[in-house]
Amino acid sequence: MEVLGMCPLLQVFDMNTSLQFYCETLQFKVHQSAGEEGAPPDWVWLKWNNIDLMMNTAYEAARRPPQPDAARSRTHGDVTLYFGCPDVDGAYRHLTAKGLSLQPPKVAPYGMKQMYCYDPDGYQLCFQWEAQYVPE
């Protein structure tokens, strides 16, 4: 069996807010999109280097509530997207310069240098790379 990639699909509350985060704060580009003409897309396929990510609105425009459903959003905490990022400190500087309030990167007990943040819908993102071993 040959598998050449994977593309998660995230359900988002407000596509414009999500696109601003993923395209302007991060560096994704819209590869394809679909939706009603003259309205924000209901579905997008984003690409960034060799990373694919799709997003779909959780509600059709006519049925979208004024606020996200807290019970539905709470389950987003069960999802973490891990990004291979050789310069975690550089990612931290980039994201804090974009206005995100983040904890500095730390090395996990299993040897990965990691920095976490959340997207507008509460999905957790982790930028990580294997830490350089420094003997004590």
120: Cα separation from own chain's centroid: 9
In whole angstroms, give the CA distance from residue 43 to residue 50: 20
CATH (residue range 9-130): 3.10.180.10
Whether residue 52 contacts residue 5, with contact meaning beta carbons closer than 8 Å, is answered with yes
Q: How far apart are CA 105 and CA 88, in angstroms?
A: 7
How far, rounded to the nearest angstrom, does the alpha carbon of residue 88 sit from its chain's CA centroid?
Answer: 15
Domain ranges of the chain: 9-130
Q: Which own/partner contact pairs does 39-47 have at CB distance under 8 Å and 24+ positions apart?
A: 40/15, 40/16, 41/15, 42/15, 44/15, 44/19, 45/7, 46/22
pTM equals 0.88
Q: What is the pLDDT tens value at each position of the chain, 136 positions in all?
A: 998 889 999 999 999 999 999 999 999 999 999 988 888 899 999 999 999 999 999 888 778 877 877 777 777 778 999 999 999 999 999 999 999 999 999 999 999 999 999 999 999 999 999 997 555 5
Q: Which helix (H) or strand (E) holds 97?
A: helix 88-97
